[in-house]
A and B are shown apart, each in its own frame.
Chain A
């Protein structure tokens, strides 16, 4: 598959945008300015970006509790997103949802979820609506290998296959289900082997190689748009941060994180594109500066937005 120069630059930009947002969020959260729980996805940036770069505005995604990367990659505006993390009224969800229950419906981000695996069952419905309305739109649902232990995984894979829904199951293997390593909770090496049990095609790819992710997703999206049904994608990657911000990560073997940081998807891609002559150091720096400015503006916007009034607890309960 030939990936155009413009697409390559776009992939790099989106990854830098995701990473900068999350790195700045880390700092703000540790400073105590952000309430609630925070689950970050640094290291898994290529999975978010390589997949979402194949989607249109009208396509939908369902994300996990670790969902910022996908939401940004799908096209959400950083200002209301950051305001949401700050718990402010200008947030996409009026400051009620925070990081873990985030949604930005106008860009197709149909919801993060605090219940592991549950996005899959709900995603069935959006894919069903896309099929019912005879569109060629599709839905992607994200989860980690931890969610493959849920009943939702089996029910959703089976139902999607039976109804031939335009639904793409994107499994980001980050090697831990909360604190338990994959070897202790998954009985097989490749979780996407299970797709065959539902008669569903699947692809395994390097989740730190954004072009490999992009190409795998392109096949799955084409399949879905053509009405051929669901697809499962398995991307091998790693979570740089702990399960939650503040997690001491003492369950990780010494040296594991350092080994994976040598395979940081953004660093690898910058090197690759530099070698190919697509970008140079100056161009990369220009992207970083522009993104940093955008994130700073989002933080400024969030800080200036007021907290919700108490009355906000009682509105929008019923339509």
Chain B
């Protein structure tokens, strides 16, 4: 019988990987500290006890080789799930994503498929500083042949991880450290969140807020406060930045005629810019206000708490922007 249980994001990811490893013997995990230590932040805890070291592979600090190994293993029939830890470390693997994983199937005329998942964590809000706090999803959102998902809570963390592992393409899975302990009721039965499909998490008629990743909590907080002021915001949890589900955004904006996008990555060349450009290209006549973006400024992330707080978008900044658009 279908039921629910309460799970935080960290254990939702763990459970998704565990269930997929039980279902499919070709799934394995690989990365620094993922085996015996149970993951740098405990996400893979317990998996080595159930599945053994052969399927829970601890590696040296060689990010390029970890992702390279995933590419070769995936092209050879396995389904690797790698952890790369903080998303800044993914800079060391851009070669493997850009030149190899994303191109391999097309380049070889469809001879191979590359079903691999790489987990990377955004850690904004922890004072982790310039080398541990970045959100670099826009780089990967511009790569044909890749998929990039960004869960926001336990439900989407589990559903997207299962979908990512079952997908036959390279998937970058971006998980927010700040949400690891966030709890939520989720179904006990098997389910997935389809990759490339956004979710309307709150309905409204006055403005569409498109939220990416952990910004969902800020967007929902903002929507609550806006309601008290008589503004009904519709909130879309984008969930996937490659591909972007523009159809769900279009349907919403046709109803609300206004749109603001919130993401923790930089505004310049961010995913919000792509969404805004698509809206003006395809829905110009439906818009009652310019499409706005609430995102990080064009500078670096400080470890210093006051400076870091100023850097990241939040509910207050979003509310201020919405009020400018609905005067």
Contact = CB atoms under 8 A, between A and B. Distances in A.
A129 B73 contact: yes
B273 interface: no
B62 interface: yes
Interface string A121-162: 111111111101100000000000000000110011011001
B249 to A, nearest CB: 21
Contacts of B113: 319
B104 interface: yes
Contact of B109 (A94, A118, A130, A132): A94
B69 A124 contact: yes
B278 interface: no
B96 interface: yes
A317 B105 contact: yes
A111 B104 contact: yes
A295 B95 CA distance: 36
Chain A contact patch, size range? 35 or more
Interface stretch (A96-104, A181-189, A201-209): A96-104
A8 B239 CA distance: 60
Interface in B62-107: 62, 64-65, 67-78, 80, 95-96, 99-100, 104-107
B99 A125 contact: no
A125 B145 contact: no
A91 B109 contact: yes
Contact of B68 (A60, A125, A319): A125
Interface in A82-117: 91-97, 101, 103-106, 110-111, 113-115
Given A129-B77, A132-B78, A122 B169 contact: no
Nearest to A150: B64
Given A118-B95, A125-B70, A129-B77, A315 B105 contact: no
A122 B100 contact: yes
Which residue, of B54, B65, B73, B106, has the highest number of chain A Cβ atoms within 10 A? Answer: B65
A319 B168 contact: yes
A290 interface: no
Contacts of A130: 76
B106 A125 contact: no
B75 A110 contact: yes
B145 A318 contact: yes
Contacts of B60: 155, 158-159, 162
B230 interface: no
Interface in B127-156: 144-145, 147
A163 interface: yes
Contacts of A103: 107-108, 111-112
B27 to A, nearest CB: 11
Contact of A97 (B28, B76, B107): B107
A216 to B, nearest CB: 24
Given A92-B109, A110-B75, A317-B144, A125 B62 contact: no
B21 to A, nearest CB: 13
B111 A121 contact: no
A124 B65 contact: yes
B68 A97 contact: no
Given A132-B78, A159-B60, A105 B112 contact: yes
Interface string A269-284: 0000000000000000
A303 to B, nearest CB: 19
B68 A121 contact: yes
A316 interface: yes
B72 A124 contact: yes
Which residue, of A123, A124, A152, has the highest number of chain B Cβ atoms within 10 A? Answer: A124
A126 B95 contact: no
B75 A125 contact: yes
B105 to A, nearest CB: 6
B304 interface: no
A65 to B, nearest CB: 12
A316 B109 contact: yes
A94 B54 CA distance: 37
Given A126-B76, A128-B72, A317 B145 contact: yes
B110 interface: yes
The 6 closest A-B CB pairs, nearest first, are A125-B72, A121-B68, A94-B109, A125-B73, A319-B168, A129-B76
Interface of A: 60, 62, 91-97, 101, 103-106, 110-111, 113-115, 118, 120-130, 132-133, 151-152, 155-156, 158-159, 162-163, 315-319
Interface of B: 28, 54, 57, 59-60, 62, 64-65, 67-78, 80, 95-96, 99-100, 104-115, 144-145, 147, 168-169
Given A92-B111, A316-B105, 8 more contacts: A95-B109, A96-B109, A103-B108, A103-B112, A115-B99, A124-B72, A128-B69, A158-B60
26 contacts: A92-B108, A92-B109, A92-B111, A96-B109, A97-B107, A97-B108, A103-B108, A105-B75, A105-B112, A110-B75, A111-B108, A121-B64, A121-B65, A121-B69, A121-B96, A122-B71, A124-B68, A125-B72, A129-B77, A152-B68, A155-B64, A158-B60, A159-B62, A317-B105, A317-B106, A319-B169
